A and B are shown apart, each in its own frame.
Chain A
Amino acid sequence: MRRLAPMLLAALAVMAGACEKKTQPTPSGEAGTQAAQGQSGSTVSGTPAAGSDTILLGQVGALTGGQATFGISTRNGIELALKEANAAGGVNGKKLAIRVYDNQSKPEEAAQAATRLITQDKVVLILGDVASSNSLAMAEKAQAAGVPMITPSSTNTTVTQKGDFIFRVCFIDPFQGFVMAKFAREDLKLGKVAVLQDNKSAYSIDLSDVFTRKFTEMGGKVATTESYSQGDTDYRAQLTAIKKTQPDGIYVPGYYSEVGVIARQAREVGLKVPLMGGDGWDSEKLFELGGSAISGSYFSNHYSPDNPDPRVQKFIADYKAAYGGVPDALAALGYDAARVAVEALKRAKDLSGPAVRDAIAQTKDFPGVAGTVTLDDNRNAVKSAVVLKVGDGKTQYVTTISP
């Protein structure tokens, strides 16, 4: 044992070191080839990355790890928007290029990647990420360096509170919590619900806080609040505790990677009530992971592909042609964020941080595919949300709830 103890210590130290070590954010997949080639000259538009005739943007996204589909969808949306912008002549004669770094779904990697974009690649603007925890870490760096950042889909309130360089093109968490509370109380007429939140995610805690407050204000009762940690796969203990309170519904504002499994295990312990959640559910994977157990549940979201608006339908058709599959909300928001950025770059008097920031701040009534974007004084987009019902392998539009 005496030999084991130091060995154990060494092992744990190495493990800890390895887990926390600041790896160079390695671009991966398709984006990786672009980023790698970027150094030798090729980019999205096929024009040189370095040079006065290109404007280099940066994206930090979860391309691997638990939220991988989020980062990939967002990247596709952004790529599509930039391709279109370049085809239409770029910004004042300059082509747009983007460098994408993976954050492995981890905030510390996101901060590292943002720093790399700012100091090494000297991008004019950063797009990303989806999960609020990652965006918060990036916002810190972007604000300090005076580089404007637009998050397509981070809904946590505090993200844009990091400073005047941080913007978003989506609504904020309090609103999603409010939407579901209102929907549960007025449309589903639920009296007593339980909440199951992801304690590792700022997003989940925020949604569940607002939901609890609003639902109680509207005369409902929150029977119990249980928690899990991202990456868990066994939720039976929490669900067994929830079952004891006999709720009419369960609010699970988590991410698809866990929600699908939660739904299965909820049915297994005998909870038959509907589950409700937020935009973190939005992924094709939800149907695979949740199977039939997730059918009949509801979640709030930014957009619905059923929207007949020709602009939305054109986006869907273009996206399908480029990547196959119907774009999810994150792709739509990535697309909107990139287009808001491009419009702002066109209006900006030069490409310095403050000039671009001022141009973004003036965004008003911008026709995005996921709703009309007007940025308020807190740099948040004011727009309505949709509620979707999960069916067999697809979602179905239920209603729109306005602020």
Chain B
Amino acid sequence: MAQLLQHLINGLAAGTIYALVALGYTMVYGVLKLINFAHGDVMMVGVYMGYATAFAIGREARGSFLGIAAVFAVAMLGCALFGFLIERFAYRPLREKPRLTALITAIGISFALSYGFQLDIGFLPGASPRAFPEIIEPKEWLIIGDRDVVVWNWQVISFLIAVGLMVALQYLVFGTRFGRAMRAVSWDHRVAALMGIPTDRVIALTFMLSSGLAAGAGLLYAIKDTSVSPLMGLYVGLKAFVAAVIGGIGHVPGAVVGALVLGLVEEFVVGYAASTWRDAVAFGFLILVLLVKPGGLFGRVAAEKV
């Protein structure tokens, strides 16, 4: 029983992080109908920005509230800027080209980032995994029984940050003018442009938002698993993408639900069966969902005129 509870906590911790990354996929897909395969790698870049910041502010400042805030702020803002640049120079020139072109470009950026960061020149970090500095000093937050179930302070903090970011996003999308513009572009960007919505700006902001969120998610991931490497983006990105598709890509709450389900499924498969089965079960689950509900759990199946 205690073991079950522990698995539940671990699964939720992984799920909330997948959710933040999955939201980025889903938002960009919403406005552009583009699967941004570079999203996971943008996350990785954000993590290294946070890594550099954590070292720059030094060991003393790291554990303080301001230190943590600085690490998150630099990584998220830096990554938002990075996302803006990618959109501006890689995707925007291809906006009116066939969709496959942008998709291949996204894959190209993904590989350029994940393998480029394995080089060991200049600011590039090199191939070896590195230990992420402990910006939150680990302390037990809750202990049940004889350490049968342990909840750590960083798990709680991560969870709160993730939920906070999701609530903020929900408000942004459904409660602000920008959100309304974003939803309009997502509905039909040509008509939205006719209505006077600056679609380019909305798309750029969406990219910045999704990249910033990815950086936040990446930092939570790095705090959780303590090791960062240039290939982490491919791995987390793929999982988050699956989560977004399970939830119905383009659907914001769907991404969150899909991610939580995926995190829990993975944890339970590894905990009670074997790690070898984890990816097979995760992807099998995706296929199953798509067979029953082709649009994902919450997605609409839109008829399309050819």
Interface 1/0 per residue, B243-272 and A, CB below 8 Å: 001000100000000000000000110111
**Measured between alpha carbons, how far is A288 from B125 in the docked complex, in Å?**
15
How long is the Cα–Cα vector from A238 to B277 in the complex, in angstroms? Answer: 13
Q: Contact string, A219-234, partner B, CB cutoff 8 A, digits 1/0?
A: 0000000111101111
B131 close to A244 (CB less than 8 A): no
Q: Interface segment, A4-12, A74-82, A162-170, A357-365?
A: A4-12
**In the complex, how many angstroms separate the beta carbon of B108 from the nearest chain A beta carbon?**
9
B3 neighbours in A (Cβ, 8 Å): 240-241, 244
Contacts of B64 in A (CB 8 A): none
Q: Which of A250-282 contact B (CB under 8 A)?
A: 257, 260-261, 264-265, 268-270
Segment of B77-85, B209-217, B298-306 engaged in the interface with chain A: B298-306
Does A50 reach chain B (CB closer than 8 Å)?
no
Residue of B14, B37, B99, B120 near A15 (CB, 8 A) is B37
Stretch touching chain B among A60-68, A309-317, A341-349: A60-68
Chain A 10-43 interface 0/1 with B at a Cβ cutoff of 8 Å (1 = within) = 1100110010000000001100000000000000
Q: Determine the residue in chain B with the shortest Cβ distance to A264.
A: B226
Q: Which residue of B lies closest to A288 (CB)?
A: B131
- A240 to B120, Cβ gap below 8 A? no
In the complex, the number of residue pairs spanning A and B with C-beta atoms less than 8 Å apart equals 127
User: Does B179 touch A at the CB level, under 8 Å?
Assistant: no
**Do residues B126 and A68 form an inter-chain contact, with CB atoms below 8 A?**
yes
Considering only CB atoms, which chain B residue lies closest to A290 in the complex? B131
Task: Quote the shortest CB–CB distance from B251 to chain A (angstroms).
Answer: 12
Contact partner, A1, options B100, B150, B272, B299, Cβ 8 Å: B299
Whole-angstrom distance between the Cβ of B94 and the nearest chain A Cβ: 15
Query: Of A3, A5, A236, A237, which is in contact with the most chain B CB atoms at under 10 Å from its CB?
Result: A237
Q: Chain A interface: which of B55-63, B160-168, B191-199, B227-235?
A: B227-235
List chain B residues, Cβ under 8 A from A289: 129-131, 226-227
Tell me if B225 counts as interface (CB < 8 A to partner A): yes
Which one of B33, B130, B225, B302 has the highest number of Cβ atoms from chain A below 10 Å of its Cβ?
Answer: B225
A232–B275 touching, CB < 8 Å: yes
> Cβ of B276: which chain A residues have Cβ within 8 Å of it?
199, 227, 229
Contacts of A69 in B (CB 8 A): 128
Which chain B residues (260-298) contact chain A, with CB distance < 8 Å? 267-268, 270-272, 274-276, 278-279, 294-295
Q: Which residues of B91-125 have CB atoms within 8 Å of chain A's CB atoms?
A: 99-100, 103-104, 107, 111, 115, 118-120
Inter-subunit contact B235/A231 (CB<8 Å): yes
Interface size bracket, B side: 35 or more
User: Residues of B contacting A227 with CB < 8 Å?
Assistant: 274-276
Q: Are B302 and A229 in contact (CB under 8 A)?
A: no
Give min CB distance, B195 to chain A, whole Å.
23
Which B residues are in CB contact (< 8 Å) with A14? Answer: 103-104, 107
Smallest CB separation, A278 vs chain B (Å)? 19
Residues of B within 8 A of A229 (CB): 275-276, 278-279
For A198, the closest partner residue in chain B by CB is B275
Q: Does chain B have a CB within 8 A of A122?
A: no
A66 to B235, CA, bound (A): 13
Across-interface contacts of A2 in B (CB, < 8 A): 301-304
Least Cβ–Cβ distance between A272 and chain B, in angstroms? 10
Report yes or no: B129 in contact with A240, Cβ–Cβ below 8 A: no
Chain A residues with Cβ below 8 Å from B278 are 229
* Cα separation A388 to B133 with both chains bound (whole Å): 27
CB distance from A104 to the nearest CB of B (A): 8
Asked if A238 and B275 make an inter-chain contact with CB atoms under 8 angstroms apart, the answer reads yes
| Minimum C-beta distance from A102 to chain B (A) | 10
Quick one: given A227-B274, A237-B271, A240-B3, are A257 and B225 in contact (CB under 8 Å)? no
Contact B249 A233 (CB under 8 A): no
Residues of B within 8 A of A94 (CB): none
Docked CA distance A289–B129 (Å) = 8
Kindly state the separation between the CA atoms of A260 and B129 in the bound complex, as whole angstroms.
10
B242 to chain A, nearest CB (A): 11
Distance, CA A291 to CA B128, complexed state (A): 16
B175 within 8 A of A: no
Contact A226 B275 (CB under 8 A): yes
Say if the beta carbon of A285 comes within 8 Å of chain B.
Answer: yes
B residues less than 8 Å from A4 (CB atoms): 249
Cβ of B224 < 8 Å from any Cβ of A?
yes
Contact A291 B227, beta carbon cutoff 8 Å: no
Smallest Cβ-Cβ distance to B249: which chain A residue: A4
Chain A's closest residue to B222 (CB) is: A233
Give complex CA distance A63, B118 in Å. 10
Q: A64-B127, A240-B10 are in contact. Are A11 and B107 (CB under 8 A)?
A: yes
Q: A312-363: which residues lie under 8 A (CB-CB) from chain B? A: none
B129 touches A66 (CB 8 A): yes
- CB neighbours (8 Å) of A66 from chain B are 127, 129, 229, 231
Residues of chain A with a CB closer than 8 A to B111's CB: 18
Q: B35 near A: Cβ within 8 Å? A: yes
Q: How far is the CB of A387 from chain B (nearest CB, A)?
A: 25
Most buried by B among A63, A226, A289: A289
A-B contact pairs, 16 of them (CB 8 A): A7-B100, A7-B103, A10-B103, A29-B120, A64-B118, A64-B127, A199-B274, A228-B275, A229-B275, A229-B279, A237-B275, A261-B225, A269-B6, A285-B128, A288-B131, A289-B129
The 4 A-B residue pairs whose C-beta atoms are closest, nearest first, are A233-B225, A237-B270, A68-B127, A237-B271
Besides A1-B300, A5-B294, A233-B221, 15 other CB < 8 A contacts? A1-B295, A2-B304, A14-B104, A66-B127, A66-B129, A68-B128, A233-B226, A234-B224, A237-B268, A238-B275, A240-B10, A244-B3, A257-B128, A285-B129, A291-B131
**Chain A: residues with CB nearer than 8 A to chain B?**
1-5, 7-8, 10-11, 14-15, 18, 28-29, 63-66, 68-69, 199, 226-229, 231-234, 236-238, 240-241, 244, 257, 260-261, 264-265, 268-270, 285, 288-289, 291
Q: Which residues of B contact A (CB under 8 A)?
A: 3, 6-7, 10, 14, 33, 35, 37, 99-100, 103-104, 107, 111, 115, 118-120, 126-131, 138, 147, 150, 152, 221, 224-227, 229, 231-232, 235, 245, 249, 267-268, 270-272, 274-276, 278-279, 294-295, 299-304
